[in-house]
């Protein structure tokens, strides 16, 4: 016997549910039962201090994270004629994902790099050296140190990366590592959701370069709407 099909949860009648204090909302994955509470509390305290310094212009505070996009994007809602259902055909090849490594300074700037496949230690190092050069220029012009908040991904703490920490600090770049399973402390996560939902959802791409171009166009559109600076490091994407 095959595995029993999962029951599909359907949206209930909104009138009756609202009266019972329920609301239809997006469900999120959670790792809270795996978090170290003491480590999370310490990280939150450090973040509050950094955010206060950033608000008063004493430092530049940025958030770093990686996400991946597939050539086959999930189905989404869209407008269609009454009585008609909008469909799109899957492409002949699934291809590789295109990964984005972003560094976000809320309301100020968004630096990012694209690559086909995932980011390894060498690619991460290239992005961080690029960011360190920007931090050095900013420090020379404004006397601001740059702090980057990121997770504990293994490539972020590899031996070759650790050898660069002292050099980056000399350039004015410092890193705050978040505890494991605390992604909700990094607000850049919401930026990825917005990009995928509003710029890429409901589209199919035949080749990786087509997906990369769509990501670039989406990032440009979002920067224009948000009125913040945008800069891209070219790795192995056009």
Q: Which domain holds residue 143?
A: 34-75+88-234
26 domain residue, yes or no = no
**What does the pLDDT look like over 23-67, one tens digit per residue?**
766 666 666 677 889 999 999 999 999 999 999 999 999 999 999
- Kindly report the pTM of this predicted structure: 0.80
How many folded domains does the chain comprise? 1
211 domain residue, yes or no = yes
**What does the pLDDT look like over 222-234, one tens digit per residue?**
999 999 999 999 8
DSSP string, 131-148: HHHHHHHHHHHH--EEEE
**What does the pLDDT look like over 75-104, one tens digit per residue?**
555 556 777 666 656 555 567 889 999 999
148: its two tokens: 């980057």
9 domain residue, yes or no = no
118 domain residue, yes or no = yes
CATH of residue 70: 3.30.420.10
Question: How far apart (Å, rounded) are the C-alpha atoms in residues 202 and 197?
Answer: 9
Question: How far apart (Å, rounded) are the C-alpha atoms in residues 151 and 186?
Answer: 8
From the list 39, 191, 37, the residue with the least C-alpha distance to 110 is: 191
């Amino acid at each position: 016997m095959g595995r029993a099909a999962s029951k599909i949860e359907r949206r209930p009648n909104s009138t009756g549910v609202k009266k019972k204090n329920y609301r239809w909302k997006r469900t999120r994955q959670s790792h809270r039962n795996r978090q170290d509470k003491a480590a999370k509390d310490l990280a939150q305290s450090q973040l509050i201090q950094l955010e206060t310094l950033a608000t008063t212009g004493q430092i530049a505070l940025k958030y770093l994270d990686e996400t991946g996009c597939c050539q086959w994007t999930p189905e989404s809602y869209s407008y269609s004629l009454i009585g008609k259902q909008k469909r799109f055909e899957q492409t002949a090849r699934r291809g590789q994902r295109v990964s984005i490594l972003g560094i976000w300074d809320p309301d100020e700037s968004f630096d990012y790099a694209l690559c086909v496949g995932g980011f390894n230690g060498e690619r991460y190092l290239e992005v961080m050296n690029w960011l360190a050069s920007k931090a050095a220029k900013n420090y020379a012009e404004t006397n601001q140190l740059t702090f980057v908040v990121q997770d504990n991904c293994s490539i972020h703490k590899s031996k070759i990366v650790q050898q660069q920490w002292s050099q980056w600090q000399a350039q004015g770049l410092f890193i705050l590592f978040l505890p494991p399973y605390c992604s909700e402390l990094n607000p850049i996560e919401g930026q990825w959701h917005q990009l995928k939902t509003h710029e890429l959802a409901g589209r199919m791409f035949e080749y990786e370069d087509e997906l990369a171009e769509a990501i670039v166009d989406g990032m440009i559109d979002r920067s224009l709407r948000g009125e913040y600076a945008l800069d891209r490091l070219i790795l192995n994407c056009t």
